[in-house]
Structure 1
Amino acid sequence: MTHTFFTLQQNVYKADHEPITVEDVNENNVSSPALRRLISSAPGASVGVAAAYRADCSLSTLAFATLTRALVIHFFAANKQNPQQQRKNGQEQQPLVSRGRILIQDQILCDTGIKLYGYRIDRIALALFRDFSLRINGAVDVLSVATSNRRSLQAIMNTLGGEVLLQKDNVKTLFAHREGEATSKDVALQAWAACRATTLEDMTLRFAAISRIDTKTMPDIHLSALSKISRDAEILESLKPTKVINNVKADFNSKKGNVNLECTRFSTRIMKSKTQVIHIETLDGDKRSTITGRAGQISGKQAHINVQGVVNASGKVLSVTTVGKEDLTAAESDREDVVLKALQGTITLTEHPFFCSIWAPSLNIPWPPLDAPTASFVYYPTGQLNHSQYTAVERIISQANRDRVLLIQGPPGTGKTTVIAASVNSMINTGPMERTVWLVAQSNVAVKNIAEKLDKVGFRDFKLLVSKDFHYDWHEHLYERLEHCFIRSDYFGGGPVAVSRLLINEHTDKHTRVILCTLSMLSNPRIEEFTRQVPVQTVIFDEASQIEVGDYLPLLHRFQHSLQKMVFIGDDKQLAPFGQDDIGQLRSVFEFPHLRKRAQFLDTQCKLASRLHPLIVSILSSRPHANRHWQLYFPACIQSQVDDRARHH
């Protein structure tokens, strides 16, 4: 494609509108006359913007539209480069800017006389920077006026003026395209719809109140971090399936327009969603039929499906399929919201020392003073610590600025969970009474393992927050020995007094200062009273190599005023963040060189040494360079036997 024209008739609004003349070009054929033709047709200099993306979530097409014209620009895919060549001075290099791209930026994206409006324009702004080194000025994310989930169909219709004005099915189809599926017609019509919404009287005032996105004035280091965080989230979301086979029992019953099913597998359970549809294939005698509905009430394994039509309850279920991508989790929504606010300038992440310590270390943001500067000392009465464990605990309980963001790295069997237990013991029993500790991991099972370790060493002054969806009917057996500290999410709320009672240790009648939960739990809106009574000060993340670094963003923003220390414990040689096998570019904190070089290594094996084959010990004992640095590259469990054998050679 080089340069074509076609006419488009809108089908978004019920009312008739003039045909839209669409100019379709690739980036090399962008010209000043084409841009002027578009801009001269803009009423009040308002221009709608929309984008389409490739399967890898890079931006492929950009559309600008007025009420009567649209310009659709197709960009060439970025050249695949060696990842090692994409970095310079620790920062990713930006792609070269072509003549066509310069015209787009100068004459429309950054023209202060033009007002740009678009759906999810935060994603567009970051993709323009990440993929093409282009900036944008004064752009309005129209979805920011929505009071409901900004990803929902309802939010889109609200920003277009309301359902009464719209052809709902057409709106749903227009905005439902996955990456790589949108056509020139689609993006042109999306951009036109954004422009049309600005002419509605009741929407004009609402759009005027939205903070504009201006990446032209933002430093590269800030945009590089935000664009990476945003892109990784988009890629992870693109990996979510649009169809899931749900494992259920064959028997079912129906009552009052509901089909009641019992799920048999947690990972494929039916989940409540406003966007997904449930297809139930049944067999009654020789007759097959399909029932369609949506998940209503979910209670443990029991799923109540609101269905259309009459259901014959005498049949058997052959299969159940959930169609449609699952909704964003609370944590995913929070992450997207923080990025949007940073682009709109309502928050400034580069003023947050923890954000800068991870993503922008060159800014050297000073640390705020600690509320309780009293030092703790190592206290672990129920066990012994080897030298590397002792040093790790010292740095975890330290309040020195150099240890405010700390990595503890250790291969399997080096006692990482013991380090956590000793650190908690030390901070609570020897530190200031105001100090609090949150122990966090990606999975419920990892959090449970920490709780069991604390319980095993005799430390029971903690509370464990667990999602009802995970616990009830599915994993209750995992928590039998932890009933003394267990708080399920359906008991959240009830006000300060109710939460205070939940936080009382039944053995000591004291208010606990240690809480365990998953990282996603910290985005639960009902956790607020817990974090008010037990502020999020010191956070220790276990199995941190499994956590994609962007997942920390909601925590960093939400608890910026109380957060004092972050400790990441794990081993990057073990499991990587979810999605790494598919994407290959996800990072945990262990992939940041400036953090890794200050890491504390656990270099002594605490388990499995007796099971090592003598031949392996003999071979490694004979090597003259068997030293502390070398043992990081081999299983640490050999070291005690290697050292013992070496003493006899």
Structure 2
Amino acid sequence: MAPTTRYVQQNLFNVNHKPLEVKTLLETELTEELVLQLIGEPPSNHSTTIGLSGGYTSSGILNSLAVSINPRIVLIQFKAKTKADETAVVTARKLLSDTILCRPNAVLYAFDMGPLALALYDDHSLLIEAGVDIQSACSCESPRIPLQAMKFMVKSTQAAKIYPDNIRDVFASPVRSLEKPETSHALAMRAWLASYVPTLGDMEERLREVPRINTKSIPTDRLLMLAQFTRTSQIQDSSRPQRTAHDFTAITAIDKKFKLESERFQTRLRNQGSGTPSQIELAVKDQYGGEFVTQAKPHTVNGRQGTLVVSGTIEGKTVTAIASVDSDGQTMAEQHRDASILAILQGTSPLFENPFLRTIWPDLEEVVWPEEKFPTHDTPPPLSYQYPLNESQQSAVEAMLTLTDDSRLVLVQGPPGTGKTTVIGAFVQSAVDAEWDGIWLLAQSNVAVKNIAEKLDKIGFNDFRLLVSKDFHLGWHEHLYHSISRNIVRSDDIKKAARELKGVKVILCTLSMLSNPRIDIITSKVPLKYMVVDEASQIAVSDYIAPLEAFSTLQKICFIGDDKQLPPYGQDEIPDLQSIFEISHFREKALFLDIQYRMPPHIGDMISAAVYDGQLHSNPEHGVSGLASFFVDVDGATEKQQKTSWEVGKY
């Protein structure tokens, strides 16, 4: 790539600004002279404001860096190291580090500075000393969304008005290729915007209060761990569909309001807020057969029923299609996880001192469990479960009831039909009978949590509450909770339900529910002390960072699952995405439930040999025996979709 220079006009504000000089080059073409041209010669006692922006490949690798010192911008393309140019690359990165990233008296500004700082280190061994995450200075409802952050920044000044569509386009995708003018322009604009933000209203003062990110002060093993978690979440985010077509039934169209009913939960209309689209497109046909597309925003969503506010009147017209475009949010759990990682980088979180974290990700320091926070009992309470347990189930329950420093984390592997929910039920009954409280039973999915609740109900234990989101429950899945409806606490009723929690010792919910902004109303009544996680093989290890930081009352964690079944979503495309079962020093200590009661023995024995190294035994008293199983070769068959499922056959 030959160095090029061009001049562009910023298109994010309605303010007059002289053209920006944009220079594009390979990192090996960076020179001290060019850096001097970029930065100039500021007085030694003055700080230099530098804006940064990163471009990534589709696999999440940082392949370019934009550096802006208004009005100049340099787009730097990173090179893959080879033996032929290794010396040149090392020299170039040292220059980049000394003169820009770790420049004395320089302050680096970027949107999402945390992921960028980690990518600089993980991909190119580059550190920063004074990085400022711009969104951390914005106190608005959705500060991580760049457009919302920008609206907050300009509200205190009358001199600037933003162009929302242009800002949305600039931040539309982190994947950048400097060979494409439209993407290199977006990369340059993001860096320029980062350098321009301190001039807006009171932002200079606000940004001064944001803790600096100094990756030079963080041990390398911790940086690598944080980088791995951030990389996997970035890839997951980029793999999300950018467009969702909604299945709906039209109800009425009056003036600018369109009422509809969603037909499928997976494509339902969502309330405006975290994790929802920035805009909705309606395909409309008028009475003359003319077709056009108009914009809309959700006004109200209540279960299946929803109302859109349309930019133009659609009364008398037909809405033929509705689609959400450019999802620009994360779930609350994802926000909570990323905020925890950012707090670690900013030095405001003591999470690296957490003994659970140190046990999961060992470092060179000894794990210490302070006795005042982590009481120990040499002998576990007796089992008080009224139903028989096999030997492996009993061993698992006893381990879950043991409170010693070397058993603060317990891993139980349970193949299909081995009684994982039975083990959970036995633990709950025995722990409650021993007067334990603060027992939280979690899983990745609402259905798995419901299954645990039904198991507790079946064994006669009813003194629990099941937290479920209104979004999942209302209008869609009330029928799933019929037998345990008296135990349900919906997310919109948390405050009211908290008054009735006196004496309740057991709470059930999804892991993501722990990130609900109002969960502290529940934990103030029922502190999270003993956490049991079902479906643990489907949960990424990084998803535990937020709960570990948020709940200092935690005394024990039990993980139950089976890594031979479903792994965390996306693991096929993201090899570094791990569940707790992929942490080798834990996997070696896993307790194995070794008798399955679901499959006929002849099928169970085959599965045992093929998947579980012959360790899984079958219930000899299974009601189905003496049968044979056959494999059917469907080579050449075709698939035919039946609603949301598929059939295989000869069509």
Find the aligned partners of 1:306 and 1:613 in 2 and give their Cα distance: 56
Query: Using the alignment, how far apart are the partners of 1:294 and 1:527 within structure 2?
Result: 28
Instruction: State whether residues 282 and 323 of structure 2, in contact with CA within 8 Å, keep that contact through their aligned partners in structure 1.
Output: yes
8 Å CA contact 1:545–1:589 kept in 2: the answer is yes
More displaced stretch, 299-308 vs 187-196 = 187-196
For 2:75 and 2:137, how far apart are their aligned partners in 1?
26
Q: Which sits farther off after the overlay, 536-545 or 574-583?
A: 574-583
1:399 and 2:403 aligned: yes
Q: Which residue of 2 aligns with 1:343?
A: 345
Q: 1:176 to 1:366 in 2, by over 3 A?
A: same
Residue 438 of structure 2 is matched in structure 1 by 436
Are residues 1:143 and 2:142 paired? Answer: no
- What is the rounded CA distance, in whole Å, between the counterparts of 1:124 and 1:610 in structure 2? 53
Q: What per-residue deviation string (whole Å, max 9, x for no partner) do you get for residues 61-120 of structure 1? A: 1111112322211113579xxxxxxxxxxxxxxx99722112111222112322211211
Distance change (3 Å), C-alpha of 1:459 and 1:546: same
1:572 aligns with 2:566: no
Label 1:272 to 1:48 Cα distance change in 2 as closer, same or farther (>3 A).
same
Aligned to 1:268: 267
Q: Separation in 2 of the partners of 1:633 and 1:31? A: 59
CA apart distance, 1:443: 0.5
Distance apart, 1:418 and its partner CA: 0.8
Residues 1:318 and 1:581: Cα distance change in structure 2 (over 3 Å): farther
Whether the 8 Å contact between 2:270 and 2:298 is mirrored in structure 1 is yes
**Contact (CA 8 Å) 2:418, 2:595: kept in 1 or not?**
yes
Residue 435 of structure 1 aligns with an amino acid whose one-letter code is D
Aligned-residue offset at 1:349: 2.1
Cα distance in 2 for partners of 1:607, 1:3 equals 66
The answer as to whether partners of 2:172 and 2:326 remain within 8 angstroms in 1 is no
After TM superposition, list the pairs within 5 Å mapping 1:486-501 onto structure 2: 486-494=488-496, 499-501=498-500
Q: Aligned to 2:597, what secondary structure does the other structure show?
A: coil
Matches within 5 A, 1:558-597: 558-559=550-551, 561-597=552-588
Give ranges in structure 2 of 5+ residues lacking alignment: 626-651
Q: 1:377 to 1:322 in 2, by over 3 A?
A: same
Deviation at 1:32, TM superposition (A): 2.1
Distance 1:97 1:403, change over 3 A: farther
Matched AA of 2:566: L
Tell me, in whole angstroms, the C-alpha distance in 2 between the residues paired with 1:422 and 1:78. Answer: 56
In the other structure, the counterpart of 1:520 is 512
CA distance in 2, matches of 1:631, 1:21: 61
Distance 2:108 2:246 in 1: 43
Aligned to 1:278: 280
CA contact (8 A) 1:252 1:316 kept: no
- Alignment RMSD (CA, Å): 2.7
> Is the aligned partner of 1:636 residue 2:616?
yes
Evaluate the alpha carbon distance shift between residue 3 and residue 279 of structure 1 in structure 2; reply closer, same or farther with a 3 A threshold. closer
> Where does 1:57-206 land on structure 2 (aligned, <5 Å)?
57-76=60-79, 98-148=90-140, 149-152=142-145, 153-159=147-153, 164=158, 165-169=160-164, 170-180=166-176, 183-200=183-200, 202-206=202-206
Aligned counterpart for 1:325 among listed residues 324, 327, 345:
327
Distance apart, 1:362 and its partner CA: 4.0
Structure 1 position 405, deviation (Å)? 1.3
Q: Whole-Å Cα distance in 1 between the matches of residues 532 and 247 of structure 2?
A: 36
Contact 2:437 2:506 in 1 (8 A): no
How far the C-alpha of 1:378 sits from its partner, in A, is 3.9
1:172-571 map, 5 Å: 172-180=168-176, 183-200=183-200, 202-249=202-249, 251-255=250-254, 257-273=256-272, 275-283=277-285, 287-289=289-291, 290-313=293-316, 317-369=319-371, 370=373, 373-374=376-377, 375-430=379-434, 433-494=435-496, 499-501=498-500, 503=501, 511-559=503-551, 561-571=552-562
**Equivalent of 2:592 in 601, 607, 610:** 601
CA 1:634–1:296: 2 relative to 1, 3 Å: farther
Aligned partners of 1:161 and 1:190: how far apart in 2? 20
**Count of aligned positions:** 602
Q: Which amino acid aligns with 1:255?
A: I
Partner residue in 2 for 1:508? none
Query: Taking structure 1 as reference, are residues 184 and 162 closer, same or farther at Cα in structure 2, changes over 3 Å only?
Result: farther
Aligned-partner residue type, residue 148 of structure 2: Q
Counterpart-to-counterpart distance in 1, 2:398 and 2:53: 53
What is the distance in 1 between the residues matched to 2:290 and 2:195?
48
Report if the CA contact (8 A) 2:408-2:556 is conserved: yes
Distance 1:449 1:78, change over 3 A: farther
Shift in Å at residue 4 of structure 1?
2.1
What's the secondary structure of 1:10's corresponding residue? coil
Paired residue type of 2:525? Q
In 2, distance between residues paired with 1:300 and 1:41?
A: 60
**SS of equivalent residue, structure 1 residue 124:** helix
> For the Cα contact (< 8 Å) 2:375–2:403, is it kept in 1?
no
Kindly indicate whether the alpha-carbon contact (under 8 Å) linking 1:464 and 1:517 is maintained by their aligned counterparts in 2.
yes
**Residues 97 and 357 of structure 1: is their aligned pair in 2 closer, same or farther, counting only changes over 3 Å?**
farther
- Give the TM-score of the pair, scaled to structure 2: 0.87
Which residue of structure 2 aligns with residue 89 of structure 1? none
Contact 2:156 / 2:202 at 8 angstroms: preserved in 1?
no
Q: Residue 127 of structure 1: SS of its match in structure 2?
A: helix
Tell me by how many angstroms 1:185 deviates.
Answer: 2.8
> What is the deviation of 1:324?
1.8
Work out the CA distance in 2 between the residues paired with 1:261 and 1:398: 53
User: Secondary structure, in 3 states, of the residue corresponding to 2:499?
Assistant: helix
Contact 2:14 2:163 in 1 (8 A): no
Relative distance call for 1:283 and 1:68 in structure 2 (3 A) is closer
Deviations 1:338-388 (A, max 9, x none): 111111101132111111222235433211225654554242432111111
Tell me which amino acid in the other structure corresponds to 2:18. E
